[in-house]
Amino acid sequence: MTHDILVVDNNPVILKLMTNFLTKEGHRVKTAEDGLAALEIVKSFQPQIIFVDLIMPRIPGEKLCKILRQKEKLRQTVIIILSAAAVEQKINFKDFGADACIAKGPFKEIERHIHLIFKKLDTGCLQTLGKNIIGTDKVYKRIVTSELLSSRRHFWVTLNNMAEGFLELTEDGRIVYINQAAVNIVGQPEEKLLASDFLDIFDQEQKAELSGLLVNIGPEAVTIGEREIFKFQNLYLTITLVALNEDDEKSIIVIIHDITRRKEAEFELQQYQENLELIVHRRTAELKEINRELQDEIEERRQIAREKEGLEAELRQAHKMEAIGTMAAGIAHDFNNLLTAIFGYTELLSLPSNIPDESLSHLHNIIKAASRARELINLIQTFSKPAQEEFSPLRLPIIIDETLSLLRPAIPPQVKLVTDIHPCPPVMGGAVQIQQVLLNICTNAIHAMQEKDGTLKIKLSMPPLSAQDDEINFVELEISDTGIGISEENLEKIFDPYFTTQIGGEGTGLGLSVVHGIIRRHGGRITVNSSENRGTTFKIFLPCLPA
């Protein structure tokens, strides 16, 4: 697709390369050397795409983008930043109205990135580029620095036809301009030399000699290599340096005279050394990356091992509870049959007859003891198999309120009861069983705070979305106390049947195992967090009814 394109850049080389490239692609191209010239052009030319450099004289690129976005006819124009300064300054090009940003690197890379943007533009997918700067891996420092210069175009033809090498340096010694003669003398491509440190061209001894001159350079020209020998690679050189102050910005002019050449063997040796250093640097970087990946893999395997241990512990607990439940169900069934016979014969003996009152009292005690045994069997059956109570929609705030009305008389004065009940969707369950869960846990909590002042807190809420399953929402019932807590060795046993920390026969050891069985049958889960002398917190998650 053919586009009308405007390219704004104070670098004539970039303007020429962009014009040649875009024209060959079939586009209509206009160019401007700075922001002010660009604004003049758009008065009579409406481009569909504008390429803008960031650092330019006479209206920089950032302000130019904002001005262009204020013009009604350019609201839909695609603006693309073509600059390396955006990378070093870490700017967000979206903030000042640009649609994309390409980092200046080798021009072949720039061409490839422009093809990518045109393809996105033609398919309507330009927004998928996001805020990332394209081509940051190929940015050369010399581009950022060269953009900071206000080049004088009318000097370039003269400088490029000089027999002497001519370089312009920043105050800190970076190369911002180099003519063709200097490129030939140095023996390295222009794109590699620009923005590099001038001293890096030379060996250590020459660096020390030149470094002192650069630091103390003044308006008087200083020349080295005339009286003494200054040998560079395979050349003998004289180097003249002079400071130049312009617009409060100091630069250094370097003029190099080629006296002779080094021997070809010496030049090849230096090239070999440079290539070897480059290979070592690359190999070192590769080894660092391999080591980092290895460390990541080791940590990932450790994490998998930790997760595996946790899952195995949960599986062992599930198998243990299933086995105990099966055994308890069989025992409860057989024991219930025996109790039925005991009840039957006892009731026959207690029928109106001439049985003495003393014997009748004994029979009543037998019935009373058998009734307690049956309650214990019911607890075992509750733990081991589904209860017969039918499930129905329950409003947990009502269940909690009813339970607390039963529980309050048993709460000692030193224990403070706190509730935090939030509106929650109903759950499907058995009211009696949920009440049994509350009574068991709260009774344990009260018992844990008998020796000191404490707080029993009951909270009902919806957990955060991140804690919900993919398809099921849960309500969270939290019961916490500030009692004596549970030791680490006992914590994993608290849901086991017949396990109790109470002494003197005060508990059966079935309370929390029954709680675990009830919550499991309701499709929920229960967790506990406790440590000695720091209290205990139970969290119960029950699935909500669908809307």
| Block residue for tokens 């081991």 | 384
What pLDDT does residue 328 have?
67
Higher-confidence residue: 428 or 366? 428
Q: How far apart are CA 337 and CA 83, in angstroms?
A: 90
pLDDT value at residue 372: 64
∠ CA 238-239-243 to the nearest 5 degrees? 155
- DSSP summary character for residue 462: P
Residue 200 sits at φ, ψ, to 5 deg, of: -65, -15
**Percentage above 90 pLDDT, the chain:** 19
- Pick 332 or 302 by higher pLDDT: 302
The residue among 179 and 317 whose pLDDT is bigger is: 179
Written as six digits, the tokens of 24 are 């060959």
pLDDT at 29 over 90: yes
Greatest mean pLDDT among 141-150, 318-327, 389-398, 492-501 lies in 389-398
Task: Say what the pLDDT of residue 226 is.
Answer: 73
More reliable by pLDDT, 392 or 334? 392
| Across 412-421, average pLDDT | 92
**pLDDT tens-place string over residues 264-310:** 454 566 777 888 899 999 999 999 999 999 999 999 999 888 888 87
The residue-averaged pLDDT of 322-346 equals 72
pLDDT band at residue 470 under the 50/70/90 scheme: low
Better-scored residue on pLDDT, 498 or 128: 128
Q: Shortest CA distance to 426 belongs to which of 393, 392, 381?
A: 393
DSSP 197: B
Q: Which comes out higher in pLDDT, residue 186 or 338? A: 186
In this structure, of 248-252, 292-296, 512-516, 535-539, the range with the lowest mean pLDDT score is 248-252
Residue 148: pLDDT band with limits 50, 70, 90: very low
pTM: 0.34
What's the pLDDT band for 49 if we cut at 50, 70, 90?
very high
Residue by residue, DSSP assigns 120-174 as HHHTT-GGGGTTPPBTGGG--HHHHHHHTS---HHHHHHHHT-SSEEEEEETTSB
DSSP string for residues in 495-530: TSTT-----TT---S-HHHHHHHHHHHTT-EEEEEE
| Model confidence at 425: pLDDT above 60 | yes
- pLDDT at 105 exceeding the cut of 70: yes
**The pLDDT value given to residue 422:** 92
Average pLDDT over residues 443-462: 90
430-455 burial: b if 16+ Cβ within 10 Å, else e? bbebbbbbbbbbbebbbbbbeeeebe
pLDDT recorded at residue 154: 44
pLDDT at res. 262: 47
Query: pLDDT grade, residue 504 (50/70/90)?
Result: very low
pLDDT in the model for residue 28: 93
Q: What's the token pair of residue 65?
A: 């983008």
Average pLDDT over residues 539-545: 93
Instruction: For each of the domains in the chain, give its residue range(s) and CATH number, in order of start.
Output: 4-141 (3.40.50.2300), 152-262 (3.30.450.20), 269-384 (no CATH), 392-543 (3.30.565.10)
Q: Does pLDDT of 201 surpass 70?
A: yes
Residue 113 token pair: 């990135």
- Reported as a pLDDT band with limits 50, 70 and 90, residue 506 is very low
